[in-house]
């Protein structure tokens, strides 16, 4: 982000201090800010056609301070069922957390005072993404579970090389980070403004995502809109459950980029998809089935998954075998710990391509260990794109992993394992060979604090799902 964007993001984020007396959480604040910014940005960008007359920024601003809050709350309800489809989805079930008229007036005044001319010049999408990143990095918000580190997203996208005209999907889209990064990549490598009107419209509609949590879905819609991506019934970010029949309606994909949610299916139940061969309540394993089934022949995927997907027995092993039969699982990247909101969760990126047939597609799996002997990442030691440079070079220039590669041996980070070797391991992909000096012993049991962090991660995920259920039922959180 530029200095101007960073400064504006800081000003907007600091407005949350105004809401503290009203007991508003960080995550609630971002939703509240999204509604206000949607009204303001519609005016600034000349797109108030999305909004019904009488419920626009100037209407809100013209109200006297005492009556403004009541008008605003009434407008939120009205906008949930009037205006464009995008407006209705962003304001769906909207309910203000603000309790004091003076609080709303302070927010409106502060937003109006921002240098929107400079903000537009810098890019409103970058500004909004900056807010989402602030929210994800604020541990109290619990939003980190929806935010994959930008540098990891950029590395995955660069390796997968999204192409103009491809169907690109994120079935667990969160706030749309992967879709937007793919959009940036395509724009950087193609002159999209030289396309004719029909081709340009096709480009804007080649991105597809689904998000289960309504608050997160509205943030994602706003994010896509500010990056000039369409969102309608056939493209963009849908509100729904990928692990239900809704997921079957997503179009087949040339490329899947995603970081599925942590934990088990809501209520511990099984997915309601009838096209899954291997029923499981493990959300990552269920999403993995969706991903390789949704790929077109020759389609490719880069997917962030926790360690349990690599070694879980029974149905886990069956799904891994099915994956390696139907796809060429050519690369596995073991990620450093501490880069996600739950410090104890160990994660990986699986890179694979769907075969032209459904048998014998994986011959070798190349494993890159970026976990052993790496720094403890966090605010003091931030993860940067430079940390992925050696892996990206080792991966090669071909997104299907077919580039010439060099096995660096037992002392190196990059090694090749044959399908026969993996089969001899019981089809476990939990492969490590470097002695990690940061551990007392390789393969040591998780420490108590690590287990506690993992349990907290699961609890936060469950709480967010519960909030989503309450919102769907129209129940206020404090009444539950």
**Residues 82-134: tens digit of each pLDDT:** 989 989 999 999 999 888 898 899 899 989 988 888 888 778 888 888 888 87
Between the two ends of the chain, the Cα-to-Cα distance in Å is 40
In a domain, 41, yes or no: yes
> Do 68 and 201 reside in the same domain of the chain?
no
Q: Out of 135, 167, 186, pick the residue that ends a domain.
A: 135
Count of the separate structural domains present in the chain: 2
Pairing verdict, β 414-418 and 207-211: unpaired
Dihedral angle at the C-alpha atoms of 382, 387, 388, 389, nearest 10 degrees?
140
> Do 175 and 210 reside in the same domain of the chain?
yes
d(CA 123, CA 110): 19
Q: Is the pLDDT of residue 31 over 90?
A: no
Give the pLDDT confidence score for residue 453 in this predicted structure: 45
> Do 196 and 91 reside in the same domain of the chain?
no
> Do 288 and 174 reside in the same domain of the chain?
yes
Which band of pLDDT confidence, cut at 50, 70 and 90, is reported for residue 255?
very high
The reported pTM is: 0.85
Q: Which of 23-37, 206-220, 411-425 has the highest mean pLDDT?
A: 411-425
Please tell me which residue, 135 or 177, carries the higher pLDDT value: 177
In a domain, 464, yes or no: no
> Do 333 and 256 reside in the same domain of the chain?
yes
In a domain, 476, yes or no: no
Structure tokens, 319: 């799904």
| C-beta separation of 333 from 391 below 8 A | yes
> Do 7 and 124 reside in the same domain of the chain?
yes
CATH number at residue 441: 3.40.50.150
Structure tokens, 263: 């934990």
In a domain, 264, yes or no: yes
Please tell me which residue, 443 or 50, carries the higher pLDDT value: 50
> Do 113 and 162 reside in the same domain of the chain?
no
> Do 358 and 410 reside in the same domain of the chain?
yes
d(CA 436, CA 344): 16
Which band of pLDDT confidence, cut at 50, 70 and 90, is reported for residue 473?
low
| C-beta separation of 439 from 450 below 8 A | no
Which band of pLDDT confidence, cut at 50, 70 and 90, is reported for residue 178?
very high
d(CA 258, CA 286): 13
Please tell me which residue, 455 or 81, carries the higher pLDDT value: 81
> Do 126 and 166 reside in the same domain of the chain?
no
In a domain, 477, yes or no: no
Q: Out of 80, 111, 135, pick the residue that ends a domain.
A: 135
d(CA 142, CA 468): 14
CATH number at residue 36: 1.20.1260.30
Q: Give the strands of the sheet with 414-418, arranged side by side.
A: 236-239, 207-211, 168-170, 253-258, 295-306, 347-354, 327-334, 364-369, 414-418
The angle formed by the CA atoms of residues 264, 268 and 137, to the nearest 5 degrees, is 35
Give the pLDDT confidence score for residue 266 in this predicted structure: 55
d(CA 138, CA 141): 6
In a domain, 224, yes or no: yes
Residue whose token pair is 């990442």: 377
d(CA 192, CA 165): 11
d(CA 410, CA 413): 8
Residue whose token pair is 């799904």: 319
> Do 166 and 126 reside in the same domain of the chain?
no
Q: Out of 104, 135, 166, pick the residue that ends a domain.
A: 135
pLDDT averaged over every residue in the chain? 86
Say whether 429 sits in a helix, a strand or coil: coil
> Do 262 and 394 reside in the same domain of the chain?
yes
How confident is the model over 343-365, as a mean pLDDT?
92
| C-beta separation of 221 from 180 below 8 A | no
Residue whose token pair is 């420490």: 447
Pairing verdict, β 168-170 and 253-258: parallel
Strands of 193-326, DSSP E: 207-211, 236-239, 253-258, 295-306
> Do 257 and 388 reside in the same domain of the chain?
yes
Q: Is the pLDDT of residue 268 over 60?
A: no
Please tell me which residue, 469 or 136, carries the higher pLDDT value: 136
In a domain, 34, yes or no: yes
In a domain, 431, yes or no: yes
> What is the span of the domain harbouring residue 393?
147-454
| C-beta separation of 76 from 36 below 8 A | no
Residues 6+ apart with CB under 8 A from 357: none
């Amino acid at each position: 982000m530029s200095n101007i964007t960073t400064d504006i993001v800081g000003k907007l984020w600091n407005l949350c201090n105004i809401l503290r007396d009203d007991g508003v959480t960080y995550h609630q604040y971002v939703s509240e800010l999204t509604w206000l910014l949607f009204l303001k940005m519609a005016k600034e960008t000349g797109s108030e056609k999305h909004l019904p007359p009488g419920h626009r920024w100037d209407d809100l601003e013209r109200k006297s301070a005492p009556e403004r809050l009541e008008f605003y709350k009434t407008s939120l309800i009205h906008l949930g069922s009037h205006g464009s489809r995008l407006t209705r989805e962003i304001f769906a079930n909207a309910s203000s957390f603000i309790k004091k008229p003076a609080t709303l007036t302070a927010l409106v005044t502060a937003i109006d005072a921002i240098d929107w001319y400079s903000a537009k010049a810098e890019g409103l999408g970058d500004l909004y993404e900056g807010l989402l990143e602030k929210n994800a990095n604020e541990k109290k918000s619990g939003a980190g579970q929806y935010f994959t580190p930008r540098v990891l997203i950029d590395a995955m996208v660069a390796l997968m090389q999204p192409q103009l005209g491809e169907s690109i999907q994120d079935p667990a889209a969160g706030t749309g980070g992967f879709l937007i990064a793919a959009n940036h990549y395509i724009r950087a490598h193609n002159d999209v403004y030289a396309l004719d009107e029909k081709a340009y419209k096709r480009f804007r509609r080649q991105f597809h995502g689904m998000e289960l949590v309504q608050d997160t879905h509205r943030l994602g819609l706003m994010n896509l809109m500010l990056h000039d991506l369409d969102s309608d019934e056939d493209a963009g970010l849908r509100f729904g459950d990928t692990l239900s029949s809704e997921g079957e309606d997503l179009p087949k994909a040339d490329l899947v980029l995603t970081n599925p949610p942590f934990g088990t299916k809501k209520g511990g139940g099984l997915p309601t998809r009838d096209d899954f061969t291997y029923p499981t309540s493990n959300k990552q394993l269920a999403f993995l089935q969706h991903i390789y089934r949704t790929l077109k022949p020759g389609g490719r995927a880069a997917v962030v998954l926790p360690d349990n997907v690599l070694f879980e027995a029974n149905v886990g092993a069956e799904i891994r075998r099915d994956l390696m039969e139907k796809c060429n699982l050519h690369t596995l990247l073991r990620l450093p710990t501490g880069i996600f909101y739950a410090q104890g969760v160990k994660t990986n990126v699986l890179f694979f391509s769907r075969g032209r047939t459904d048998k014998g597609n994986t011959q070798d799996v190349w494993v890159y260990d970026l976990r052993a002997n790496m720094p403890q990442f966090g605010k003091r030691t931030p993860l940067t794109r430079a940390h992925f440079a050696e892996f990206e070079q080792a991966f090669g220039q071909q997104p299907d992993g077919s580039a010439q590669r060099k096995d660096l041996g037992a002392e190196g980070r990059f090694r090749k394992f044959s399908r026969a070797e993996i089969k001899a391991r019981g089809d476990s992909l939990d492969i490590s060979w470097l002695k990690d000096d940061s551990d007392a012993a390789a393969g040591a049991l998780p420490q108590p604090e690590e287990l506690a962090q993992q349990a907290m991660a699961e609890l936060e995920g469950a709480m967010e799902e519960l909030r989503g259920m309450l919102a769907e039922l129209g129940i206020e959180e404090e009444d539950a």
